[in-house]
Amino acid sequence: MTFRSLATIAVVAFGIRPSLSPAQSSAQETGYPDLLKLVAPPLPAGAIADRPPHFYNPDTLYQYMDGGADIFVLYGLRTLLHLDGQAGTAELSIDIFDMGAADAAFGMYAAERSPDYHFVPFGAEGYENTGILNFVQDRFYVKLAGFGAGADPVLETWATTLSTRIGRNRTLPPLLSRLPVEHRKEHSEQYMAKDPLGHPFLGPAYLVSYAVGSQESKLLVTLGSDDADAEQRFEQLKEHFAKTGECKAAPEIGARAIRASNSFEGSVIARTVGRYLLVLLNPVSGSEAILKGSVERLQ
């Protein structure tokens, strides 16, 4: 479907009067067509839009969510589509964040969820509460809100429709399935685009929590661009701990593995495998198996 035909849909459904020249190429670059496909008529649950959808980019997002925009920009927001509408007696607020990449969308979603939420099978993962249903799928982070009688089933209908329109990719980022499952705390996974633990050389990275007995360890997986990049980051980690605390070889963990600690970051075990730098934070008795298992799965 061309952008011109999408623009025609938008005119019919929402009364949009887009400028196709030179705005057409701008819209294509910012992902407006992909977002408009998700809210093309008929709208889910027989909803009626109050007004045309509004688009925000990293430079204008603060106009919509003053005080909360910075973290979305940090995670690489591309475009937000916001739509207000009504379905029966329920008033709706629809936010679809195009984060540009699945990692970034998951990271933003995970930054706002809690392991204690009520999780529901929408998208790759989602959760709901009264009047709220949020989920992540592919490069999109979808936040739905409803007010008034019957709002919750309407939000579920919207979530089902949007998930179908986004496509078949309803899985979490593939790296997470390659990490050990045993002892993993459910819904603890995070993705940090920049400066994990305050160190630029550790980002981007995934962070997963593991419960070993009554204690908790965390596994940080830094994503290097290649093997050499991972080794360079490993050397920076060693240098950091050598300057701020202590760092020594840990041959029982693997070739060139280290044990390190300082007074403000605690203890870690670290090593590389391919393009990944693995750092086990707060290693406790039995948790070394998590690091070793990760190495086997990532080789």
Name the token pair of 73: 């920009």
Name the token pair of 269: 């075990």
Supply the pLDDT for residue 30.
Answer: 58
Supply the pLDDT for residue 168.
Answer: 86
Supply the pLDDT for residue 138.
Answer: 97
Question: Who contacts 51 (Cβ-Cβ below 8 Å, separation ≥6)?
Answer: 14, 15, 84
Supply the pLDDT for residue 233.
Answer: 98
199-250 per-position pLDDT tens digit? 999 999 999 999 998 999 999 999 999 999 999 999 999 999 999 999 999 9
Supply the pLDDT for residue 16.
Answer: 41
Query: Which residues of the chain carry a pLDDT beneath 70?
Result: 1-31
- Scan for tokens 């990692």, then name that residue: 103
CATH fold of 174-298 reads: Protein Transport Mog1p; Chain A (3.40.1000)
Q: Domain spans of the chain?
A: 3-166, 174-298
Burial of residue 280, with CB atoms counted within 10 A of its CB: 0-12 exposed, 13-18 middle, 19 or more buried: buried
Supply the pLDDT for residue 31.
Answer: 67
